[in-house]
Amino acid sequence: MSAPSPSAALARFAAETPTRAIPPALRDLARRSVTSALAAGIAGRRDPDAAAMLRVLTRLSGPARAGVIAGGPRLDVTRAAFANAMLCNLLDFDDTHAPTILHPTAPVLGAVMALAEDRGTAPAEAMTAFTLGCEVACRLADAISPEHYRRGWHITATTGALGAALASARLLGLDAERSLWALGHATAQASGTVETLGTMAKSTGVGNAAQAGVLAALMAAEGVAGPETPLEGPRGYLRLVTDRPDLEGLARGLGHDWSFARNMPKPYPCGVVLNPVIEAALALRAELGDAPIARIEIAGCQLLLDRTDRPLARLPRDLQVCAQHCVSAALLRGRFGPAEVDAEAAGDPRIAALRARLGPMVVDPALTVDGARVTLWLADGRTLSRTVVEAEGSPGRPLGDAALATKLRAQCGDPAEAEALLTALAGIWTDVPLAALTGR
C-alpha cells in the first residue's frame, strides 16, 4: 500500500491523534502559548483600532454564539473566531515559531475558542484540537520557509488558516476524509501579505485565517467536498506560494517530532526580531542614568534591517516593527509594553527627539535573528554598548510560568481578575472550558 499524500497524512493526523499521544511537555507549551496570547488579547482589546474592527464584526454578526476576549461583544462563531485571532495578534505580543517567524496561536486559538464554546467541547478535546492545529500550521510553515515569507506572503495568515481548518475539523468530529475537504476549503481562502505589516490590514489577515478555518470545517461537515491533494497537487497551495516546498517533510516524524515544540511566547509587543534590540536597550538604560545620548547605533542580522528599519514610522501599528522607535522608547522609559506602542507614545516628543539621534542600522553577520547590539555615544564622551546573543523569548531562553504570569497581570490591571484567569489557565487541559477566558 502506498503512503498517504501529505495532505491526507495531515488530515488523518488532526482527525485521529488521541490526546494521550501529545507529550506532557507539549501540553505545557500549549498552555503557556494560550496564556501569552490571552495577555496579548486583553491588551489588544484596549486599542482604538480593535474597537473599530469589532464594530464592523458586530454589525455583520449573526446570532451570538461565542464570546470575545476581555468582555468583548458576543458574536456568531465565524466573527468571534476572527475577533479573538485579531486581538491576540494585533500588538505582535503573542508568540513566534522560531524556525519560521510564524505566530501560530492567534489564528488557531481564535477558531478553537469560538467553536469549542458553541459546541460545549470538553477542555481536553479543545486543547487537543488547538495543539494539533498549531502543529499542522508549524509543519506547513517549515515546508515553505524561508522563501514563502521572502516572496511577501504573511505566513501567519496563510498557514494559520490551514491549521485553524484542521483544528476546527477536529472539534466538529470530522473523519480524515472530511478533514481533508476542510483543508481544501481553507486553501481556497488563505491569504495575507507582508506589505500589510505595520498596519491593521495585517490583523485583518490573521482574523480572516481563523474565520476561514471555521468556515472551511463547517463546509466539510455539511458534505461540501474539496480536492484530494490541496497542498501538493500540480496546482496545489504549496506549489503556488513557494517554488520549492518540502513536501516530504510535511509528514516526516508526524506525531513524534513536534514542530510546535519550537514555539516561543513573546516578552514584548513588537516584531520578534526586535526582542534583542529592546533587551539590549533596557540593559543600557540601567547603566545610562541621566547622561545625554549623542548618537545611537543598532546592529543585527539582515532580517532585522529588512523588517524594522523604518525611520519614518509614526502610527502605532508601524511602531511595533520600527527599530528606531523601539530602542528609543526602551531607553527613555526603562520598560517596553503596550503603552510604548500606543498613540501617546507615537506622539511623545522625547521619543521623537531621541529617534533623531540614530545613525544607519548595521548588518553584523555574526548575529542571528535572536541577537542584536545597541551602542550609545554619550555627550560626555563615553561609549556604552550591549550585545544580546540570545534574547529572552528565544529557544534558548523561553518565557517560563513566572514571566507569563507577570505578563498577564500587567495587562489585566485588576489583581483579582488576573489571579482568576491564571487559575483558569492552569485547568484548561482538565476542567476549565476555553470560554472561561473570554468573560472579563
3-state secondary structure the chain: CCCCCHHHHHHHHHHHCCHHHCCHHHHHHHHHHHHHHHHHHHHHHCCHHHHHHHHHHHHHCCCCCEEEHHHEEEECHHHHHHHHHHHHHHCCCCEEECCCCECCHHHHHHHHHHHHHHHCCCHHHHHHHHHHHHHHHHHHHHHHCCHHHHCCECHHHHHHHHHHHHHHHHHCCCCHHHHHHHHHHHHCCCCCEHHHCCCCHHHHHHHHHHHHHHHHHHHHHCCCCCCCCCCCCCCCHHHHHCCCCCCHHHCCCCCCCCHHHHEEECCCCCCHHHHHHHHHHHHHHHHHCCCCEEEEEEEECHHHHHHHCCCCCCCHHHHCCCHHHHHHHHHHHCCCCHHHHCHHHHCCHHHHHHHCCECCCEECCCCCCCCEEEEEEECCCCEEEEEECCCCCCCCCCCCHHHHHHHHHHHHCCHHHHHHHHHHHHCCCCCCCHHHHCCC
Mean pLDDT of all residues in 226-253: 96
Mean pLDDT of the chain: 96
Backbone angles phi, psi at 281, to 5 degrees: -65, -40
d(CA 395, CA 391): 9
Mean pLDDT of all residues in 281-288: 94
Task: Sketch the domain layout of the chain as residue ranges.
Answer: 6-266+409-437, 272-388
At 69, is the pLDDT very low, low, confident or very high (cuts 50, 70, 90)?
very high
Quote the percentage of the chain above a pLDDT of 70: 99
The whole-number pLDDT of residue 414 equals 87
pLDDT above 90 for 261? yes
d(CA 105, CA 58): 23
Q: What is the pLDDT of residues 128-187, one digit of tens each?
A: 999 999 999 999 999 999 999 999 999 999 999 999 999 999 999 999 999 999 999 999
Mean pLDDT of all residues in 57-78: 96
CATH assignment of 272-388?
3.30.1330.120
d(CA 153, CA 157): 8
The whole-number pLDDT of residue 439 equals 67
Mean pLDDT of all residues in 209-217: 99
Mean pLDDT of all residues in 40-68: 97
Mean pLDDT of all residues in 360-374: 97
The whole-number pLDDT of residue 440 equals 45
**Which cell is 234 given?**
500540480
The whole-number pLDDT of residue 413 equals 82
Q: What is the pLDDT of residues 93-111, one digit of tens each?
A: 999 999 999 999 999 999 9
Mean pLDDT of all residues in 185-210: 97
Please say whether the beta carbons of 97 and 403 come within 8 A: no
At 297, is the pLDDT very low, low, confident or very high (cuts 50, 70, 90)?
very high
d(CA 47, CA 191): 24
The whole-number pLDDT of residue 250 equals 97
pTM of the model: 0.96
Please say whether the beta carbons of 294 and 379 come within 8 A: yes
The whole-number pLDDT of residue 255 equals 96
The whole-number pLDDT of residue 229 equals 98
Please say whether the beta carbons of 101 and 368 come within 8 A: no
End-to-end Cα spacing for the chain:
52
pLDDT above 60 for 407? yes
pLDDT above 50 for 275? yes
**Which cell is 60 given?**
455583520
Burial level of 51, CB count in 10 A (0-12/13-18/19+)? exposed
Mean pLDDT of all residues in 313-323: 94
Q: Which among 148, 164, 267 has a CA at the least distance from the CA of 216?
A: 164
Quote the percentage of the chain above a pLDDT of 90: 97
| Residues contacting 28, CB < 8 A, separation 6+ | none
Please say whether the beta carbons of 308 and 363 come within 8 A: no
pLDDT above 90 for 438? no
| Residues contacting 128, CB < 8 A, separation 6+ | 17, 18, 19, 22, 170
* CATH class, 6-266+409-437 region: mainly alpha
The whole-number pLDDT of residue 1 equals 53
